[in-house]
Amino acid sequence: MLYKNATLATLDGNSPYGLVEKGAIWVKDDGVIGWVGEQKALPAELAKEEAIDLDGRLITPGLIDCHTHIVFGGNRAREFELRLQGASYEEIAKAGGGIVSTVTATRAASEDALLENALTRIDSLLAEGVTCIEIKSGYGLDLETELKMLRVARRIADERPVRIRTSFLGAHALPAEFKSRADHYIDEICIPTLHAAHKQGLVDAVDGFCENIAFSKEQIGRVFNAAKALGIPVKLHAEQLSRQGGTALAASYGALSVDHVEYAIAEDVMAMAKAGSVAVLLPGAFYALKETQKPPVDLFRAHTVPMALATDCNPGSSPVHSLLLIMNMGCTLFGLTPEEALRATTLHAAKALGLEKTGKLMKDWQGDLAIWDVRDPAELSYRIGFNPLFMRHFGGH
């Protein structure tokens, strides 16, 4: 497919957005970019091919939502009401609500019902030009339901034109049946379930939640050792509600990403820089929990730690179904520039998932595209509650 007369935010080179005006891009039948650049430089044999004239509209790499919990049962509207009345997220979790209440609903739901339910949320993301979504398990917390969640996540790619990456998040919360026995849960359920899920080819990465309402560094370390032995990359929810030292732990395992990181300090950021980990910022959870501690964006810049942005779509701390809104929040709440916000949902999100040659418009890179009815890429972060997607190009189609 050849697109002509487009504005290209290639994200390549040193100019802002790697912008090319009056550009053209050719995506080959195998879904890989065959040619991209200024239209006047288009080789003669391509120039005579049939093309879509975009009349100056903007093309970016397809957006990537690199952190979601989008497969789950039930909802937490009641918890939302409780939090509005003053209960904190931690208090609700400690009282047996929170993540564990979603576990009950997810265990009870059939595989087909979970899929149908997730697709409604997936469709909101796809409508905004998202072409790749990471999905975590972690609302099963038993062998059967963790595997069910991962199967549902993978089935989404059969139902919709989207790439799916799955992360095993067995160390998300302690299920009620293991109350006060977190070490037993890790050894008897979490790690054996990881082995089973890996054996069935359902795991692209291993994640955990290092927090005083979840698991300690030592417990997460045991899960990461199991991941390492299986050759699976890791990532971690760390320093979200308090500073626990999860960031340094994750970095010591060469984590693909460390996520949330509101409470990270300079030494954490330096450990991430050394490990090459991406900082995945989740302003939806920051907003919904009325957090006031902002992630150390200036330190990430100073140490050239790439920043990604994601929805964290989940029924509790971030019931967010718009990656464009997250780009706006990244700018408004965390002080990213619109250019950083676009890199954060394309190139850097790809890196957070360990995807190669994805997230830039370059020859031989992956050719999933979002085509927008705007001319200036800053417009993607600027509006709130407005979707300027013109069309999406996925794979070889």
**Which residues contact ligand DI6 by CB under 6 A?**
69, 98-99, 102, 172, 209, 237, 240, 285, 312, 314-318
Q: Which of 314, 303, 305, 338 is nearest to 324 (CA)?
A: 338
CA distance 256 to 28: 29
The interface region with Fe ion, picked from 261-269, 312-320, 323-331, 379-387 by CB under 5 A, is 312-320
Indicate the residue among 58 and 323 with the shorter CB distance to ligand DI6.
Answer: 323
Indicate the residue among 318 and 366 with the shorter CB distance to Fe ion.
Answer: 318
Minimum distance of ligand DI6 from residue 213's CB (angstroms) = 9
Q: Closest CB to ligand DI6 belongs to which residue?
A: 316
Helix or strand run (H / E) with residue 142:
none
CA distance 182 to 341: 38
Indicate the residue among 27 and 203 with the shorter CB distance to ligand DI6.
Answer: 203
192 and 146 Cβ atoms separated by less than 8 Å: no
- Which of 65, 128, 239, 312 is the binder for Fe ion (CB under 5 A)? 312
Dihedral sign, CA of 18, 24, 28, 34?
A: negative
Indicate the residue among 141 and 361 with the shorter CB distance to ligand DI6.
Answer: 141
Minimum distance of ligand DI6 from residue 107's CB (angstroms) = 14
Answer with the entry of Fe ion, ligand DI6, none that 39 interacts with (C-beta below 5 to 8 A by kind): none
Answer with the entry of Fe ion, ligand DI6, none that 170 interacts with (C-beta below 5 to 8 A by kind): none
Determine, following the binding rule CB under 5 A, whether residue 291 of this chain makes contact with Fe ion: no
Return the CA Rg of the chain: 21
Answer with the entry of ligand DI6, Fe ion, none that 99 interacts with (C-beta below 5 to 8 A by kind): ligand DI6
Q: Which of 281, 278, 275, 285 is nearest to 296 (CA)?
A: 281
Minimum distance of ligand DI6 from residue 79's CB (angstroms) = 8
Cβ neighbours of 50 (radius 10 Å): 6
68 and 313 Cβ atoms separated by less than 8 Å: yes
The interface region with Fe ion, picked from 13-21, 50-58, 311-319, 351-359 by CB under 5 A, is 311-319
Indicate the residue among 10 and 314 with the shorter CB distance to Fe ion.
Answer: 314
Alpha helices by DSSP H, listed for the chain, are 44-47, 77-84, 89-94, 99-108, 111-126, 143-159, 182-185, 191-199, 217-230, 246-252, 266-275, 283-288, 297-302, 323-332, 338-344, 347-352, 379-382
Binding site for Fe ion (CB under 5 A): 312
